[in-house]
Amino acid sequence: MQLAKHWRLKGPRYRLAAVRHPETGAICFPPPADSAEWDEVALSGQGVVESFAAVGKAADGFVDGSIMALIRLAEGPVITAQLTDLEYADVTIGLQVEMVTRKLRDLGPDGLIVYGYKFRPLLSQV
């Protein structure tokens, strides 16, 4: 089931919760492995595609053909996430995107449905 594993990630997964270093002000996402001393900071959820690729053969539990991207968030960090609500042919480097919450995977009849962030084209730009 791995309940606790997914529960621990609820901040970053659902709210894109990043952390800010109390002294340097550096914003970090994903949060460092032990970020107890850092302050939580909310990210805007907006960013720009730095690269993208399609997953031909997906790992077990995922769907073939999904689009992965490296996204530079407005606050600076680069994250790896799926793009959604568009076709591969419509993606370009430089595309403005925003975070949405979607189903990442279904762990089966006895498991969890794992939700988390994906990114879609920025609606105000469409």
Partner 1 sequence: MRKTYIVGTGQTPVGEHWDASLLTLAIRALNSARGAVARPVEALYVANALGGEVAGQSALGAALASAAGLEGIEALRVEAGGASGGAALRQAHLAVASGAYDIVAVVGVEKVTDLLEGPVEAALALALDADYEAAHGLTLTAGWALLQQRYMHVYGYADSAFAPFPVNAHRNAATNKGAQYRFAISPEQVLRSAKIAPPIALLDSATPGDGAAAVIVATEEVARELGGARVRIAGSSLAAGSPALGTRSDLLWLDAADRSARRAFEQARVEPKAVDVLELSDQHGIVASLSLEASGFAERGTAPRLAADGLIARDGALPLATMGGCKARGDAVGALGVYQAVELSAQLQGAAGPNQVADAQIAFAQCLGGLGATAATHVLIRED
What residues line the site for partner 1 (CB under 8 A)? 9, 12, 29-30, 50-63, 66, 68-70, 77-82, 88, 93, 104-105, 114, 116
Helices (H) and strands (E) in the chain, counts: 2, 8
Nearer to partner 1, 51 or 124 (CB): 51
Question: In the bound complex, what is the minimum distance in angstroms from residue 105's beta carbon to partner 1?
Answer: 7
* 77 phi/psi in degrees, rounded to 5: -60, 150
102, 108, 110, 116: CA torsion to nearest 10: -20
Nearer to partner 1, 65 or 124 (CB): 65
* 14 phi/psi in degrees, rounded to 5: -95, -30
* 89 phi/psi in degrees, rounded to 5: -65, -15
Nearer to partner 1, 39 or 88 (CB): 88
Question: In the bound complex, what is the minimum distance in angstroms from residue 46's beta carbon to partner 1?
Answer: 16
Question: In the bound complex, what is the minimum distance in angstroms from residue 26's beta carbon to partner 1?
Answer: 12
